[in-house]
Amino acid sequence: MKHWDIFCKVVDNYGDIGVSWRLARQLAAEQGLPVRLWVDELAAFVRLCPQWVAGSSQCEVNGVWVSQWTLSETVQPGQVVICAFGCDLPPSWLERMAAKTPPPLWINLEYLSAEDWVEGCHGLPSPHPRLPLRQYFFYPGFTPSTGGLLREAELTLRPAVQLPNYRLKISLFSYDQPFVVELLQCWAAHPQPVLCLVAPGVLNDRLAGWAGSRGALTVEEVPFVSQPEYDARLAACQLNFVRGEDSFVRAQWAQHPFVWQIYPQQEEAHRIKLEAFLARYLAGLDVPSTQAVRAFWHAWNVPAAGALAHTWPAFAAALPALQSHAERWAQQLFIQPDLASQLVSFAAHRVECGL
Ligand code: TRH
């Protein structure tokens, strides 16, 4: 069976399913592969895929067979099996994999990180302790020695759309930020009009009472939309606040200045990831803009009273330089093959060599 199976456990929010769904669509549409996506929590998926037929537990959407995880119990594994973000496969599925000759290629798609060690771990195998199976670790990343980033074949880097500069349009998608109102106060006092589009989430409560216009600022609560619509929203704004993993990558393809709120991990592990990305991203940027980005991103990620209000003016002043930088950065990333194509080459090589 030439199928590719992708297993996704929704740990939290939309990032796990967001990445899995994007990858599944690309493998089907661009690589012509029959893809099955097994999801443990369809409720999260349905928000990303409004075409889903309400109440169904499996369905073909955008060329991908999407199914409730438990329905994999009686199905034969395909040629390639991907665990998104190291999720554990059902034990009976593993047994069925091991019973096949040759067994399917088993790939663990890892989380994205800009840290240096990723290059050394990308593509490494790890044997199963009991079964005649080995799992390969596939690491997305920002350098040619990693698995790259998800990017649709149709995505082209046109010169960024020149948006009317009388208004600063901002999209806001974030985890909680107790001091967000400080920022809104800055925007209300901004010298030019500001439109802030707030995606559904915990911030909505903090922003209660801000909907509508105040000073230079207009706040609009926008609905949760499909991924292509969300991508279009990022492209249409001049500044994007993003979070997690998938919206973080999309902000980079949108070629506009952005602010990343990293997913908080235990023991502050995320701080190292954040620094690793900043070190790569800020290379080549002028010193004042670099300092402005570091200070503002820090204020956004490490809440402290006064920090956003204090760091916003320098960040706002750096926006024109950050716009040019965002275009250069995207061009640099664009040279790498995209993640879906790299997965296909990785699989083809191993399947051919019987590894
Ligand atoms: O939702 P996130 O915070 O997701 C994750 C998860 O928390 C995960 O467990 C964690 O490990 C990971 O972050 C790092 O953020 P992310 O990754 O940006 O996913 C959001 C998805 O939702 C992304 O695919 C974009 C999509 N989206 C839409 O499709 N429409 C929308 O309107 C919005 C706001 C987002």
Which CATH number is 28's domain given?
A: 3.40.50
Same structural domain, 345 and 308: no
- Structural domain includes residue 314: yes
- Structural domain includes residue 237: yes
- Structural domain includes residue 158: no
Q: Which atom of ligand 1 is nearest to the CA of 22?
A: 24
- Structural domain includes residue 305: yes
Please indicate whether residue 245 is annotated as part of the active site: yes
Q: How far is the CA of 15 from the centre of ligand 1 (A)?
A: 4
48 CB less than 6 Å from ligand 1? yes
Q: How far is the CA of 276 from the centre of ligand 1 (A)?
A: 21
Same structural domain, 121 and 196: no
pLDDT of residue 269: 86
- Structural domain includes residue 159: no
Short-list 274, 329, 317, CA closest to 292: 317
Q: How far is the CA of 228 from the centre of ligand 1 (A)?
A: 13
Domain count, the chain: 2
pLDDT of residue 1: 60
Same structural domain, 239 and 284: yes
Residue closest by Cα to atom 1 of ligand 1: 14
Same structural domain, 305 and 345: no
CATH value at residue 206 = 3.40.50.2000
Same structural domain, 26 and 135: yes
Total Cβ atoms within 10 A of residue 128 = 14
Residue indicated by tokens 């349009």? 169
Show contacts of 219-224: CB within 8 Å, 24+ apart: 219/184, 220/195, 220/196, 222/197, 222/198, 224/47, 224/199, 224/200
From 5, 182, 231, 245, active-site residue: 245
147 CB less than 6 Å from ligand 1? no
Same structural domain, 204 and 110: no
Short-list 255, 24, 256, 282, CA closest to 156: 255
pLDDT of residue 55: 86
Residue closest by Cα to atom 5 of ligand 1: 15
Residue indicated by tokens 């663990």? 108
pLDDT of residue 235: 95
Torsion of Cα atoms, 284 then 289 then 292 then 293, to 10°: -40
pLDDT of residue 213: 95
Contact 197, 172 (CB under 8 A): yes
- Structural domain includes residue 227: yes
Residue 138 main-chain phi, psi, to 5 deg: -115, 115
Q: How far is the CA of 352 from the centre of ligand 1 (A)?
A: 35
334 CB less than 6 Å from ligand 1? no
Q: How far is the CA of 49 from the centre of ligand 1 (A)?
A: 13
- Structural domain includes residue 218: yes
Instruction: Spell out the alpha helix ranges (H) of the chain.
Output: 15-31, 42-48, 91-98, 117-121, 180-188, 203-206, 227-236, 246-253, 269-281, 287-301, 307-334, 339-353
199 CB less than 6 Å from ligand 1? yes
Same structural domain, 139 and 181: no
Same structural domain, 192 and 74: no
245 CB less than 6 Å from ligand 1? yes
From 5, 16, 246, 338, active-site residue: 16
Residue closest by Cα to atom 29 of ligand 1: 227
244 CB less than 6 Å from ligand 1? yes
Same structural domain, 24 and 138: yes
Q: Which atom of ligand 1 is nearest to the CA of 247?
A: 18
- Structural domain includes residue 154: no
Structural domain harbouring 113:
4-149+338-353
User: Which of 14, 19, 220 to probe ligand 1 with, by most ligand atoms within 8 A of CB?
Assistant: 14
Same structural domain, 213 and 264: yes
User: Which of 51, 246, 266, 301 to probe ligand 1 with, by most ligand atoms within 8 A of CB?
Assistant: 246
User: Which of 247, 248, 250 to probe ligand 1 with, by most ligand atoms within 8 A of CB?
Assistant: 247
pLDDT tens, N- to C-terminus, the chain (355 residues): 689 999 999 988 999 999 999 999 999 999 999 999 999 999 999 999 988 988 899 999 999 999 999 999 999 999 999 999 999 999 999 999 999 999 999 999 999 999 999 999 999 999 999 999 999 999 999 999 999 999 999 998 876 665 556 789 999 999 999 999 999 999 999 999 999 999 999 898 999 899 999 999 999 999 999 999 999 999 999 999 999 999 999 999 999 999 999 999 888 889 999 999 999 999 999 999 999 999 999 999 999 999 999 999 999 999 999 999 999 999 999 999 999 999 999 999 887 776 6
Contact 126, 106 (CB under 8 A): no
pLDDT of residue 266: 85
Same structural domain, 194 and 218: yes
Same structural domain, 330 and 196: yes
**Max CA separation in the chain (angstroms):** 68
